[in-house]
Structure formats: C-alpha cells, structure tokens
Amino acid sequence: MVLNFGQNLFGSQGLFKNSPEDNQVLEFQGSRELPKDLIVSTTSSNPRTMADDNAVGTITWSNVDNAKADDTSYADASITSATATHYLKATNFAFSIPTGARIDGIIVDILKVGVGPPIKDPANDSEVKIVKSDGSIGTTNKAIATDWPPNTSERTDTYGGAADLWGETWKASDINDTDFGVVISADRTTTLEGNPDPKVDLITITIHYSI
C-alpha cells in the first residue's frame, strides 16, 4: 500500500511505502528507489545437552549423550511392547543469532538407525517436535512414516525447512536460549518379530534467518 506522508526528508512532496526492512519499494516524486536486499544467513549446531524426557511413552533412552556427535556411538532404546519411547531431548545448541534478525526457517537433521527387518520389527517416528525457549514442547509433529533404517546403514532424516517455523513465532533470543531444541520419540507399528532398537547418532539444527 502506498502512503502519502506529505513531505519527504528533503522537504519536497513524495509518496513512499514502508521501510526497506519490509523489502518494499520507496517512491519519491515519481522516482523509485529499491531497498537493499536482506542478508540471508544460515547457521548449524549440535546439542550441548541431551536428556531422556518421560513426558511421553514408557521406554527409556540410554546413553543419551552419544547423540551429540557423529561418531557411531548411539543414544539407544529397546521397544519391548507396542508403545512409544520417551522423548530423546536435545537442547542448548549455543546459537548466537543477531538481535533483531528475522527467523525464516528451522531444519532438524537426525542421524539414526532402527535395527529392524529381517530379524526385528522396524522402528518408526512417533513424534518429532520443537522445544521452545520456555522449555515447553511445540504442538506441530514432524514425524515421518518411513521406517528407520536397519543396523547395516545409518540414515539422516530431515525435518522442517528453510521457510518452516514449526507452527511457532520466533525471535533471535528464543533460538539462542539454552532451552531451545527438539525432541524425538520412536515406536513400532508391528509386533510380529523381535523388539526394534532405535538408535540416534547425531541431532543437528540449522537456522535460516535474515538481517
């Protein structure tokens, strides 16, 4: 929407739109001035804090700190019944997003193994949710239907996207907060074979932001 503010900063009549930060066109006396492009940046980090959170499920995760680094050492669980695991909770990613930056999207990458067929039932995602700066769990569930891979090969599954805010509104301070993070819970869809043993090697979060 073009707004008429009477005089511009130089004392002459002019029409102009909102600020360059809104990425809109400025107009003065028929001339047009395009704002500078926003600087788009990304930053990725691994968690400094891992935990088993019993807010959901009944199956406990063991060796939770093993999900801090890609080293083939795993946070692991054994799903012994038709139920879900607790949350494997990753927080404290030590981001330093500049104050005033616009958060554009959040990507979570989880490197995992399911230890499934042919000897055991496959593991599956039950919940993958964001953890907000106040420590509460978001409501948007990004779980995917694909079985976790067998123990012969790791696979990285990606959740969210460069323009996906997981149903939340974010400030830089929210992302920088030590409580910000992600949780994952696993389950099984069948009870035909042996118990699946979901394992997580690494959790990474990437933030897309503009300044």
pLDDT less than 70: residues of the chain: 1-37, 116-118
Q: What is the pLDDT of residue 29?
A: 44
Q: What is the pLDDT of residue 57?
A: 97
Which domains, from first to last, does the chain contain?
A: 3-33 (no CATH), 40-210 (2.60.120)
Q: What is the pLDDT of residue 151?
A: 76
Q: What is the pLDDT of residue 5?
A: 40
Burial of 169 (0-12, 13-18, 19+ CB in 10 A): exposed
Residues 85-122: pLDDT tens digits? 999 999 999 999 999 999 999 999 999 998 765 677 88
Q: What is the pLDDT of residue 154?
A: 93
pTM for this entry: 0.81
Q: What is the pLDDT of residue 195?
A: 86
**Distance, CA of 66 to CA of 113 (rounded, Å):** 13
Q: What is the pLDDT of residue 153?
A: 86
Q: What is the pLDDT of residue 108?
A: 99
Q: What is the pLDDT of residue 69?
A: 97
> Which tokens in the block code for residue 75?
């946070």
